[in-house]
Structure 1
Amino acid sequence: MTQMPGTLPRALTLTCSRRIAFHEDGSESPEGPSEPDSGENSHAPPVEPDLAAAVSLSGMSVDHWSQPPPPPPPPQPADLYPMAVPRNGGLVDASYQQTLITDQFYENGNQDVVGFDAHFREFANFLDGVGLPAEWSPYFHGPDRDNDVVDPGMRDSRVKDSREGTATPGPRSRTRPGTPFSSWLPSAPTGNRISENLPDAIPRSVDNESQPYRISDEQRSRLNASIESFRDILDPNFKFPSRHALTRYLTSYFEGFHSHMPFLHTPTWRIFEHSLELILGLAAVGAQYCFEHRMSERLFYAGKAILMERLAHESDKFGPKTGSSLSMPQRRESRPILARDWGPWEPIETVRALIALMGYATWEPKVSLMQEAFGLQGLLAQVLREVGLHEEDGRQPPADQTTPQAAWHAWAQQESARRAKLIAFSFMHTHSIAYNVYPVLRSNEVGLRLPCSTKEWKASNAVQWQIARRETDKQQLLFQDALSLLLRNTDGTAPLDPIPTPLGNYILLHGLLQRIYIVRDLSLPVMDHSASLPSEEVDKLERGLRSWTAGWQQAPESSLDPNNENGPIPFTSSSLLGLAYVRIYLHLGPYRLLETRDPIRIAKAIYRSPAVERSGGVITALLYTAHMLSIPVRLGVDRVARSQAFFWSVRHSLSGLECAVLLSKWLFSLTEASGTTPLSDSEDRILHWVRCIVEEAYDVVDFDDDEPEVGVDRDPASLSLAVLRIWAHFFKSNTQWPFINMIGESLEKYRELLMRSRPQQAT
C-alpha cells in the first residue's frame, strides 16, 4: 500500500523494538524493519538489567515483528530527546542507546519522502525515552497478534533489576507472587526489609529495620495521655486506637500515601518529635488504606479538633486572616479548659497536619467530609502565606553545623519544610483539577526552590547524605524560574539545567496545568463554555509540555514502571501530562460536577459537554488518551484495579476520566463526519490502536453488567462505547477509594445515555 503523507515510517519504530526486555531465558528477540512478511528473526545480544526490566511494566513479552534488524547506525552526538543518561543510572549496551531516527535522516529532507508525522514522532520518542516495549507504541502489530502473557513469576527478578539502577546493590527484595506492584502492597514486615530498599552503611537492629513504624505499649500510653488532655473538645465516644492498630495505620500511611506525597523525612522520623494533630492525620489516612473507614473518620475529626485548638492557642504565630478562615470562635475565659499536653510543635507542623487531614477528607464519599476538605483548603492557603513561601536567605547552611549528624538533621528539617509547602501547593491545585474551583494558591506566590535529589532525600544516614551532596553539582532552580523557562523555551526540547527531580517535575506540571485553567478562564466568552484557548497560547503550552517531557525523560529516577524504586511520582506525572494535553483541547471542567457525588448528575453534565473537533492539533492529546487506556489493559484491568492502591493514585483516575471522555467523544465524531471528511493517516492509526486495545480488553475482562458477552464491533461509535465500558469497569473495581468507584458509576451512566440516544450503535 502506498504510504500517504502524515504516516509514520516503519523505521521509526526501530528503537522501540530494540529497547525491549526479554524473558530470562533470552529466547525473545527484537525485530527490525525489512519486508513485513519475510518471516526472518534474529537474536539480539543480551541487554542490561534495567532494559530487561522494561517488559515488566506490562507483564507482557513483545510481539514478533517478522523483520531482521538492520546494522546499527553510527553514534550521534545527541538524541532527538537526549537520553544520554541511561534509565536509573544503569549502563546500556550501545546498540540499544540510539535515536528513533538519526539526525542526518531529517537533515537530508527525507521527511517529505516518508510523510513524517510530527505528533507520532514526538509520542514515539516519549515511549522510547521511558523504556516502554514497542507493543505500547501506536504502531504495534494488528489485532491478530498472539496473546503473549508472561508468567507473573518471571517478573519478580525483572522488577528488582530495574530497581537496582541507582541504589546500592543489596539482597533481592521479597515480592508477593501474582501481584505486579509488590513493593507497595501491604504485607507483614519480614527480615531486614528496610535495608534492602535503603542500604545503610551503619547496620541497625533487625527489629527497627523490620518495623520502623511500630508503636510500643509505652509509646501508645504517652500518646493516649496527651489525647486525654483534649478530651473536652473530642467526641465523647472517641477511643484512641490500640498500639497494633496504630502500627498498622502508620505503616500503611508510609508505605502507601507517603510515596505519592513525600513531605516527611522518614530516615529521621521520630513520632514524639511531631504534633498530635499530625499523628492523628497520618493515622486517619492509614486507616483508610487499611479499609477501616469508621476509624479513619473518627481519627480525622479528632485530628481536626486538636488542630483548631492549636491554632487558637498559637494565634500569635499567625495573622488575623488565619483565625478567620474557618470562623473559629474566640476563646472565652469562662470556659473550663483542661491542662493541655501540647507537645512539640512549630508552624510547619500545621501545614503537614492540614495536608494529611485534607488527603483523607478530599476523596471521601460523604458530602460533609468533602465540605470539611474545602474549609481546610482555605485555611491551608492562608497558613502557607503566613508561614512563608520563599526561601530564607539568612538561614545558616546546614553544612556549617558542628557534626555531620547535626548538619544532616538540620538539612532534613529545612528540606522537609520546603517539600511540605510545595506538596501543599500541588494538592490544593488537585482540588482545582477535580472540582473546577479557581486555584486558591497561584504559581506566582510560590518562591521556593524545587526539591532536592532523590539520593539526598533517601539517604539513610549522614554519611550517605554527604556522599549524595557531593554528587550534586548545582542547586535546583526556583519553581517560578523553572516554570518561566519552560514556557519561554522556543524549540520545546531543551530541558532545564539542572534537571528537576521527579517530585520537582510533578510540581512544575501542576504549574503548567494551572496556567491552562487560568488562561482559559480569562479567555472564556460570556455564555460560551467551549472556551477554546488562543492559538498562540496553545503553541506556548505545547512547547512547555515538550520541554517538560524532555527533562522528565532525562531524570535518572523517571520511569513508567510502577515498581520504580524511587516511588510512583514519575508514573503519576505521566498521567498528568496526558491530562494537560487533554485540557488544551477539551474544556470538561464545568461538566463533571464531581462534588455532587451523584453519578446520574455527573453523567448528565458530561453528556452536555462540548464535542471534540477533529483537527491536527488534537492528535497528540489522543495519543496520550489511548496510552492511558492501554496501561491497565496491558497490565490486566482487574489485576490493577484490585491492587492499585499503592501506585495508582486518585490523580490517575481524574486524568483517566478526562482521557476517557475525550477519546470517546472523538470516536463518535468520526462516525458523524465519516461521510464528508475522510480519516487522515494519523487518525487512522489511532483508530487502529484503539481497536487493538479494546479487543484485548474484551477478550479477558469479566464485565459485571448484564450485556451479552459478544465481541465489540469495529466501527468508531461502538469503540467509543467500549472505551467507556472498560474505564467504567476499571474504576468501579477499585478497592481503595469510593471516590474512584463513583467516577466509574458516572462513566457507566454516561455510556447508558449515549446508548439510548444511539440505540442502533450500541455495543
Structure 2
Amino acid sequence: MYIGHGGIAVELVLAMAAVGAQYCFEAEQGLRLFRAARAIATERIRRRDSRIARDQDSPNGPLGLATGATTTSAPMDDLMQSGQALLLLMAMATWAKHKEILREALAIQSILASIVRDDGLRDSSEISWESWARKESTLRTKYTVFCFFNLHCIVYDIPPLILNSELHMRLPCSTAAFKASSAAQWRAAAQPRPLPFQDAVRRLFSSDPVRSPGRSALGNYVLIHAIVQHIFFVRQSARCRFDAASELTADEGSPLDLAVRNWQVAWKNSPESSVDPLDPNGPVAFNSTALLRLAYIRLNMDSGPGRALGTRDPFQIAHALRNTPPLTLRRTNTPTAPKLMRALLHAAHALSIPVKIGIRLVAKTQTFTWSIQHSLCSLECALLLGKWLEAMAALGANPYPPLTDSEERILSLVRTVLDETEYRLPSDDNDGDDHNCTDMALPERAKRLNAGVLRVWATIFKGSQTWDIVEVIGNALAMYADLLDK
C-alpha cells in the first residue's frame, strides 16, 4: 500500500485495527473500532462531496465550474485511503454473524463502487517509480474491490457492482516489482509489463495455447474471479429460458469450460503459483485454487440460489441445502459427462486435503492459514458431492445402465478419504450387525458416504473461527447431515 504525502488516513488505521481485533477474537472491541472507522470514512467522503458540489455551483469558471475546483477537492490519494478503509470494513461486516452488520456491508458496497469509478477504471501513464508506486497501490485496491464484489455475488447470489466489461486497466504487476524498495529494484522486476485485463480475458476464451496471461499471483486471482463472474451471468440467463431448464447448453458451457481449463494451465505456468498459504509471495495463489474448484462446480450445478446464507440461521440454511434441486446425472457418453466427473474430482480432492492433515488440527488452525474463500468454496464442494451421492442413492440397488468406471472411482475415492476419519463406513472389523461395505447396496452406501462427507466438513468448520459465518456453515452442514439420517 502506498502512503501519500499526508500520511495514512485515521479511518484506515482504525479499520486495520478492527480487523486485527477480530483475528485476536476480540469481537466487541473490533465492533467499536468498526463503527468509529465507518463514521470517519463516511464523514470524510461527505465533506469532499460537499466541497465539489459547492465548487460546481460557482459560476466563475467555464461550464459553471470554479477555476479552483480541482485544488479545493480532497486529493484522490486520500479518498482512496478512505476506500481502502471501507473495503476492510465491508469484508469484516460481510462475514459477521448478525444480520444488521451484514446490511452495513451491502450499504458500503455502493459507496465503495462510486469511489472506485470516480477515480476511473482505465490505465494512466507513469513516468517515475514514485508515481508508479502510487498508481499500482490504487490499481490493486480497485481490483480487490472488484474481487470482493464477486465474493458477495458468490455468497448471496446478487449481481456484482463492477462488471468485467468495465475494467480497462492493466493487470497487477509481479510481487517482486510491488515490493521493490528502490527505483533500480523496480526497473529490474517490472518487466514484462502486465497484460491489459481485457486482453488477458480474451486469451482465456481463445482456443490458442495460453501462456500465463495473469503472470502475477494477484493477476491470476483477478482472472479467475472474472471467469466466475462470467459463469454467474450465463447461469442467470439459463434460469430465464423458456424451456424452464437451468442446465447449461453446449453452446453456453463449452466456452466457459475452455476458459477454466486455460486458466488452470496458465496458473501452473505462472512463476508465482503455489499451493502453500505461507508462500513468500503471499496466499493469493493458494486462494485462487479454491475459486478454480468453485468454477468447475458452478459449470455443472446451479448452486447459487436458495442457500439462505444471508439469514445467518443454520436451521434455515440446512433446509435450503436439503431442498436444493437434485443433480442431473449424465450417465451416457455425452460431452458433458466428463466435465461433471472433473468437478467431482476437485470436490473430493478438496475434502482429502484437511483429512490428510487431520480434520481437528485444521479446525483449530485454519483461521490463520486458510482464507474465508476456502470455507465458502468447500461448502460448494460439500453440496456438489452431497447432491451427486443423493443421485447415486436414487439409482437403486441395481442401476441401469450399470455404474461407469468414473462413477465407481469417485465412490471409491470418497470412501477412501472417509476411511481416515471417524465417519468411515462399516467394514469386516466392525462387530454387531453391520455388513461389509463391499456388500452394501448402492443406495445405502451412497447415503452413508453423503452423511459422512457433510459431517467431516461440519467438524472442520466448527473449530475456532475468526469469522462467524464459517461456524454458521458448520452448524448448518451438521443439521443437513441429521436431516439425511432421518
TM-based fold match above 0.5:
yes
- Per-residue deviation, 1:657: 0.4
Are the counterparts in 2 of residues 588 and 606 from structure 1 also a CA contact under 8 Å? no
Counterpart check, 1:670 vs 2:420: no
Distance (Å, rounded) in 2 between the aligned partners of 1:691 and 1:271: 59
* 383, 405, 418: which one aligns with 1:681: 405
Counterpart check, 1:507 vs 2:222: yes
- Report SS of the residue matched to 1:659: helix
Q: Map of 1:181-580 to 2, 5 A cutoff?
A: 264=1, 273-315=7-49, 346-392=78-124, 395-398=125-128, 407=129, 409-469=130-190, 472=191, 474-487=192-205, 489-490=206-207, 494-496=209-211, 499-525=214-240, 531-580=246-295
- TM-score, normalised to structure 1, is 0.56
CA distance 1:482–1:591, shift in 2 (3 Å): same
* 421, 433, 446: which one aligns with 1:716: 446
Name whichever structure is richer in helix by fraction: 2
Distance (Å, rounded) in 2 between the aligned partners of 1:380 and 1:435: 18
- Per-residue deviation, 1:631: 1.2
Distance (Å, rounded) in 2 between the aligned partners of 1:319 and 1:475: 39
Structure 2 unmatched ranges of 5 or more: 55-73, 331-336, 425-431, 439-444
Distance (Å, rounded) in 2 between the aligned partners of 1:272 and 1:690: 56
Distance (Å, rounded) in 1 between the aligned partners of 2:217 and 2:354: 22
Are the counterparts in 2 of residues 347 and 387 from structure 1 also a CA contact under 8 Å? no
- Per-residue deviation, 1:517: 0.7
Counterpart check, 1:611 vs 2:326: yes
User: Which amino acid is 2:172 matched to?
Assistant: P
- Per-residue deviation, 1:528: 8.6
- Per-residue deviation, 1:462: 4.0
CA distance 1:749–1:555, shift in 2 (3 Å): same
Q: Map of 1:77-226 to 2, 5 A cutoff?
A: none
Are the counterparts in 2 of residues 485 and 496 from structure 1 also a CA contact under 8 Å? no
For each residue in 1:14-54, what CA deviation from the matched residue of structure 2 results, as whole angstroms up to 9, or x when unmatched? xxxxxxxxxxxxxxxxxxxxxxxxxxxxxxxxxxxxxxxxx
1:748 alignment counterpart: 478
Identity of aligned residues (%): 39
For each residue in 1:288-336, what CA deviation from the matched residue of structure 2 results, as whole angstroms up to 9, or x when unmatched? 011111111001110111111111110157789xxxxxxxxxxxxxxxx
For each residue in 1:511-552, what CA deviation from the matched residue of structure 2 results, as whole angstroms up to 9, or x when unmatched? 111111111112213799861122112110111011101110
Q: Map of 1:690-709 to 2, 5 A cutoff?
A: 690-698=414-422
User: Which amino acid is 2:456 matched to?
Assistant: I
- Per-residue deviation, 1:423: 0.5
For each residue in 1:537-592, what CA deviation from the matched residue of structure 2 results, as whole angstroms up to 9, or x when unmatched? 21101110111011100111211123322111111111110001111111122221
- Per-residue deviation, 1:351: 1.9
CA distance 1:681–1:344, shift in 2 (3 Å): closer
- Per-residue deviation, 1:373: 0.3
The aligned length equals 444
* 455, 470, 475: which one aligns with 1:725: 455
Distance (Å, rounded) in 2 between the aligned partners of 1:284 and 1:712: 53
2:365 alignment counterpart: 643
Structure 1 unmatched ranges of 5 or more: 1-263, 321-341, 399-406, 701-707, 757-763
- Report SS of the residue matched to 1:356: helix
For each residue in 1:47-87, what CA deviation from the matched residue of structure 2 results, as whole angstroms up to 9, or x when unmatched? xxxxxxxxxxxxxxxxxxxxxxxxxxxxxxxxxxxxxxxxx
Are the counterparts in 1 of residues 194 and 215 from structure 2 also a CA contact under 8 Å? yes
Runs (4+) off by over 4 Å: 269-272, 316-320, 342-345, 526-530, 710-714
Distance (Å, rounded) in 2 between the aligned partners of 1:431 and 1:355: 13
CA distance 1:304–1:712, shift in 2 (3 Å): farther
Distance (Å, rounded) in 1 between the aligned partners of 2:484 and 2:423: 23
CA distance 1:530–1:583, shift in 2 (3 Å): farther
CA distance 1:285–1:527, shift in 2 (3 Å): farther
CA distance 1:697–1:397, shift in 2 (3 Å): farther
- Report SS of the residue matched to 2:83: helix
Q: Map of 1:647-658 to 2, 5 A cutoff?
A: 647-658=369-380
Distance (Å, rounded) in 1 between the aligned partners of 2:169 and 2:437: 52
Considering only aligned residues, what root-mean-square deviation do their CA atoms show, in Å? 2.5
User: Which amino acid is 1:349 matched to?
Assistant: Q
Counterpart check, 1:625 vs 2:383: no
CA distance 1:699–1:745, shift in 2 (3 Å): closer
- TM-score, normalised to structure 2, is 0.86
User: Which amino acid is 2:202 matched to?
Assistant: S
User: Which amino acid is 2:369 matched to?
Assistant: F
